[in-house]
Structure 1
């Protein structure tokens, strides 16, 4: 199963979705206000948090 699908089947899926949506909104707000530094910062924060979630919920290594 793809990690992005698997992550939304976890116990903390609601919180992950809420925070992910907030991250998307932060990027959009910065873009709408033509704030490239703010957009870059919001995108970097969102990507970093997504990486944390994916690492936390990745399946065990096979082999």
Structure 2
């Protein structure tokens, strides 16, 4: 297990948010939208985005 914190939310209609911040400052943010599409962003402790994956209608 790695030290850090985790924040999860959902609205019981399909929207889910899972935000993990590790002790070093790195983050993984996952959003699942009502239509089933997913966005996952991986951010290094210095703020550099390592991955920004999108599926479905919520592409940026």
* TM-score, structure 1 normalization: 0.25
Larger RCO (CA within 8 A; separation ≥ 6): 1
Higher share of residues assigned helix: 1
Larger Rg: 1
